[in-house]
Amino acid sequence: MPLHANVEPLSWESTFFHRASGRLLFSDASPMLSAAALAQYDIVQAKIPAGATAQADALAALGFRLAESEVDLSVSLTERPDVEAFDGVRRAVESDIPMLCEAARTTFALSRFRTPWYAPEDSGRFYARWVENAVLGTFDDVCLLLEDAHRRPQGWVTLRQLPEQEARIGLLAAWPGQTGRGIGRRLIQAAETWCRQQDVRRLRVATQLGNIAALRLYLSNGARIDSTAHWLYR
């Protein structure tokens, strides 16, 4: 199968990871993808539908390998009961950034930003920057911090508002050592409350196909699977 695609330079990732990075943009109007075009980059990413087996085979012939599989879900908030506001949730502020970054480095040590394409510490470093930017409102719009009665952190969720009355969860995680205590459900409730305050009607989230706990959490809270995809790297 011939592949028609352009390589979009990923300037921010290239600077952050110190590796020339690009991503394939597939289009029938694009030129046929060549090894020479790919050779200009240290890492080239491709995201394809999970059912696109012919496309996956063609990418494999060019040296691409599976990095991760992803499930995209969404929930219609108009079909969900309103959640009563509860104590213990606040918007994270700049003074919270150091502890949030440390928690993110631990929690997200394994992701698609993994060896052999990236250094072992790069995944945690990337998500630490993500949560920092969410607190500052420079990528996601907000980071909500869940605390117990003694103001000890229990988990966090970041959110970004999208067009057409939609929003997307960026990161959602229990604090290290606090899993299995219903924290994920409370974080989803906090996210839904924030969405309703912004007049958001649909909440989206993506997670790793292998993250069964996250899939169960989202599905049990009303989400439906919209699509599945593979990330392949060269």
Active site residues: 218
Closest CA to 224 of 232, 215, 212, 211: 215
User: Residue 69 in contact with residue 233, Cβ under 8 Å?
Assistant: no
Task: Identify any residues that bridge with 157 across adjacent strands, giving them in sequence order.
Answer: 144, 172
Q: Is 197 exposed, middle or buried (0-12, 13-18, 19+ CB in 10 A)?
A: exposed
208-217, Cβ contacts within 8 angstroms, sequence gap of 24 or more: 208/68, 208/69, 208/70, 208/71, 208/111, 209/68, 209/69, 209/70, 209/71, 210/69, 213/184, 214/172, 214/184, 215/71, 215/73, 217/184, 217/185, 217/188
* C-alpha–C-alpha distance, residues 19 and 126, integer Å: 14
Q: Are strands 202-208 and 166-174 parallel, antiparallel or unpaired?
A: parallel
211 assigned binding-site residue: yes
* Tokens at 25, concatenated: 């943009």
SS3 84: coil
Helix or strand (DSSP H, E) at 72? strand 65-76
Binding-site annotation, residues: 211
Binding-site annotation, residues for acetyl-CoA: 211
